[in-house]
Amino acid sequence: MKALLALEDGRIFSCRSFTGPGEVGGEVVFNTSMTGYQEILTDPSYRGQMVTMTYPLIGNYGVSREDVESSRIQASALIVREYQDDYSNWRADMSLADYLKAANVVGIDELDTRALTLHLRTHGAKRGIISTDVANPEALVEKAKALPSMEGCDLASGVSTDKPYRLVNDTPVFIQEELAEGLFTARGEKKAVVAFDFGIKFNIIRLLEAAGCEVIVVPANTTAETVKAMNPDGIFLSNGPGDPEPVTYAVETVKALIGYRPIFGICLGHQIMSLALGGKTYKLKFGHRGGNQPVQNTETSKVEITSQNHGFAADMDSLSAADVEVSHVNLNDRTVEGLRHKVHPVLSVQYHPEASPGPNDAQYLFDEFVSMMERFTV
């Protein structure tokens, strides 16, 4: 079925919908990963975005129920050069097209993704509309212009859980009791961790548990008083979508928790930590999305190849050098990829050490978080 992708700046791309009729809008971004499209689609950090895969052939290994990073598809749409409906994978349960159709998510192909990616790199991420109603391209451009900007949008509240839960066999098991110290049942054997859900990926919880933690996931708006009532050994701040600056409720909570227990933040959690420490954030031109971003650890000088998915970054110049130091830096554009507090047990990174998809170079950070908890004394 013929379709169009119309960007807010007037650029129009002809394409085909491989999921049937539909119309959807969002911020158009690109991801350079060669594999992992299912993990990317189900990553809550992509809420409100239409993801372009730069690798040309997508769909050839189908979809597996075991490879999800949340309970639903989070991206608004998928944009590819060539969709392959005939998949080959012994683990696959269905085709990518059927997976998208079941979730009412639009997928398009036969689009020049090289030209689109070059346009986004040159002019920045753009709001766009995908539609199978191709009669009036100019009207689609106007619709794209009318979409809300990613800047100023609190999307974390829309993807966060409403109720606290434990993850059991990749399924959230909700907690009905009042949040209190007694909810952690493995104290002494495992480190008790409260994980704030700003859009948490399942693999983060898996790796925290693999590192020896008992994890309880709590809503994004959970208060510092509630966390203290749970008496955890450590606090985790998750990844998530959108602009960190409107997530003021979380910033105030994190401010109140700095120094109380060790804190580890990833992605949006890193940005929220930066704001809580008195810094600022800013929107990147086209963001970092893919599984091949080189990051240098400033303490060891070692380079990690990392998985990334973010459109905002911390402004190091806005943070106090007396209190905070850069722990990791992006070797492509020198942006801040990690922070440490010089006094309090605080560590945060902009990238995704849990990968899924992507390389595992940075998984040591989960063990480092556990070490922080072991060294900490109340």
- Write phi, then psi, for 23 (nearest 5 degrees): -145, 135
Was 271 annotated as part of a binding site?
Answer: yes
Encoded tokens for 48: 């409100």
Identify whether the C-beta of residue 40 lies closer than 8 Å to the C-beta of residue 33: yes
Number of Cβ atoms within 10 Å of the Cβ of 311: 22
Residues 6+ apart with CB under 8 A from 248: none
Which is catalytic among the residues 288, 310, 344, 352? 352
**Helices (H) then strands (E): counts for the chain:** 10, 20
Rounded Cα distance between 338 and 352, Å, is 11
Assess whether 267 carries a catalytic annotation. yes
Question: In sequence order, what are the beta bridge partners of 2?
Answer: 16
- Write phi, then psi, for 38 (nearest 5 degrees): -70, -40
Rounded Cα distance between 147 and 128, Å, is 8
SS3 content of the chain, % helix, strand, coil (to 5): 25, 35, 40
CA gyration radius for the chain?
21
Was 338 annotated as part of a binding site?
Answer: no
Was 240 annotated as part of a binding site?
Answer: yes
Q: How distant, in Å, are the alpha carbons of 126, 189, 336, 346, 357 from that of 287?
A: 11, 40, 13, 25, 17
**Residue of 29, 60, 33 lying closest to 291 (CA atoms):** 33
DSSP summary character for residue 371? H
Assess whether 189 carries a catalytic annotation. no
DSSP summary character for residue 187? B
Encoded tokens for 244: 């960190």
Amino acid, res. 209: E
Rounded Cα distance between 113 and 107, Å, is 13
Was 296 annotated as part of a binding site?
Answer: no
**Residue of 293, 290, 271 lying closest to 282 (CA atoms):** 271
Q: 227 by DSSP, 3-state: which?
A: helix
Identify whether the C-beta of residue 194 lies closer than 8 Å to the C-beta of residue 165: no
Which is catalytic among the residues 267, 270, 288, 304? 267
DSSP summary character for residue 130? E
Was 70 annotated as part of a binding site?
Answer: no
Was 327 annotated as part of a binding site?
Answer: no
Was 45 annotated as part of a binding site?
Answer: yes
Q: 183 by DSSP, 3-state: which?
A: helix
Was 311 annotated as part of a binding site?
Answer: yes
Which residue positions form the known binding site?
Answer: 45, 240, 242, 268, 271, 309, 311-312
Active site residues: 267, 352, 354
Binding-site positions for L-glutamine read 45, 240, 242, 268, 271, 309, 311-312
